[in-house]
């Protein structure tokens, strides 16, 4: 039997290009939350893909931002840049567009320093015609010494097998790094919190979602296989609290029902989910609160 290959593949790119959707599709399970709002992902999320050839450990990162705006933003930038040097290969995701911006030049600089092989993954090709795609490849191909350029559609699962092959070509030979059953470094508790945040992101109007965090106050698996969860949605303003609760509690109920259904599917059992809403002014600039809500810098 030939030797296996194993290593880390970092997924980077601008907000909203489809990084988390693609990672979920590659591993065949929804671990990272997704939405059409930029800056959906805030933490680095690790998932493991195992097959006969070996193992790819995907690192999904927050979309690349140029200006932080607050401490949460700084934390997200540190994560996306810090991940580059931990990876054996970088998947740089872009929308199917020829536009190359200042942010892309900055990513390129950081990648050059890290010296890691980079695959340019043109995502969402379901949205463009073939001729357009050729033009896009043409605009990007000389911008950076990409190891390969792979057009895919994460959502429609197009060309993902080809992408997996390209990734394995960049990984070192070696034994599996995790046991075959391992799927992610995220706990059920963390995933449940993220599912609540996703439903809030998707259901609330534009100005509220960016200032939201979700914490799990209580997570209890009962002996009769029912899971009891109490979670708080943290927001920044009293007016936001009103919007999240909605008329007669209607919005909170919608968020709760949608989240509960998805958590039940994931843990394959009944779930009681109780939601609270709290106001913490400027939590996105408060180190202590950031840490409480799970956005903690690893080294200092
Ligand atoms: N048409 C189309 N839409 C896609 C595709 N992949 C993702 N999307 C959509 O793009 C939006 C953003 O997807 P995400 O996976 O959350 O994007 P992301 O890059 O992780 O975003 P951040 O976490 O905010 O950086 C969602 O509405 C997805 O459904 C694709 O291949 N085709
Ligand atoms: Mg994401």
> What residue segments make up the domains of the chain, in order of their start?
5-170, 188-292
CA of residue 157 to ligand 1 center, whole Å? 13
Q: Which ligand is nearest to the CA of 14?
A: 1
Q: In whole numbers, what is the pLDDT of the chain averaged over residues?
A: 93
- For ligand 1, atom 1, name the residue with the nearest CA: 124
Phi/psi at 63 (5° precision) = -55, 145
CA of residue 35 to ligand 2 center, whole Å? 8
**What is the number of other CB atoms lying within 10 angstroms of the CB of residue 215?**
18
Residue recorded with tokens 């872009």: 94
CA of residue 292 to ligand 2 center, whole Å? 21
Choose which residue among 14, 21, 27 to substitute to test ligand 1 binding: the one with the highest number of ligand atoms within 8 A of its C-beta: 21
Class assignment of domain 5-170?
alpha beta
pLDDT at res. 199? 97
- Counting from 1 in the atom list of ligand 1, the atom nearest the Cα of 39 is 24
pLDDT at res. 2? 67
**b/e per residue, 95-110, with b = 16+ CB within 10 A?**
bbbeeeeebbeebbeb
- For ligand 1, atom 7, name the residue with the nearest CA: 18
pLDDT at res. 298? 60
pLDDT at res. 67? 78
> CA 131 to CA 125: how far, in whole Å?
11
> CA 130 to CA 119: how far, in whole Å?
20
CATH superfamily for 188-292 is K homology (KH) domain (3.30.300.20)
The pTM for the full model equals 0.94
DSSP state of 176: -
Residue spans of the chain under pLDDT 50: 299-300
CA of residue 17 to ligand 1 center, whole Å? 5
pLDDT at res. 31? 96
Q: Is the dihedral of CA 149, 152, 158, 160 positive or negative?
A: positive
5-170 and 188-292 share one CATH topology? no
């Amino acid at each position: 039997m030939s030797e296996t290959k194993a290593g880390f593949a970092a997924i980077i790119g601008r907000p909203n290009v489809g990084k988390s959707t693609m990672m979920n599709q590659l591993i065949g399970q929804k671990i990272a939350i997704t939405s059409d709002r930029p800056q959906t992902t805030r933490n680095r999320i690790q998932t493991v893909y195992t097959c006969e050839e070996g193992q790819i450990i995907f690192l999904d990162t927050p979309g690349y931002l140029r200006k932080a705006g607050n401490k949460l933003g700084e934390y997200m930038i540190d994560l996306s840049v810090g991940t580059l040097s931990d990876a054996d290969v970088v998947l740089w995701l872009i929308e199917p567009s020829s536009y190359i911006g200042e942010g892309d030049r900055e990513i390129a600089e950081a990648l050059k320093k890290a010296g890691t092989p980079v695959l340019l993954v043109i995502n969402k090709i379901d949205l463009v015609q073939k001729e357009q795609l050729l033009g896009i490849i043409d605009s990007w191909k000389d911008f950076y010494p990409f190891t390969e350029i792979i057009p895919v559609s994460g959502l429609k699962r197009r060309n993902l097998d080809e992408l997996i092959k390209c990734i394995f070509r960049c990984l070192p030979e070696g034994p599996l790094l995790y046991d075959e059953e391992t799927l992610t470094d995220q706990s059920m508790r963390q995933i449940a919190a993220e599912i609540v945040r996703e439903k809030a992101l998707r259901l609330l109007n534009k100005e509220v979602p960016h200032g939201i965090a979700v914490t799990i106050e209580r997570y209890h698996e009962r002996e009769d296989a029912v899971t009891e969860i109490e979670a708080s949605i943290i927001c920044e303003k009293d007016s936001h609290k009103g919007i999240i609760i909605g008329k007669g509690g209607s919005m909170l109920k919608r968020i709760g029902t949608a989240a509960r259904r998805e958590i039940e599917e994931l843990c394959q059992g009944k779930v009681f989910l109780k939601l609270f809403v709290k106001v913490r002014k400027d939590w996105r600039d408060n180190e202590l609160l950031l840490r409480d809500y799970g956005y903690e810098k690893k080294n200092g």
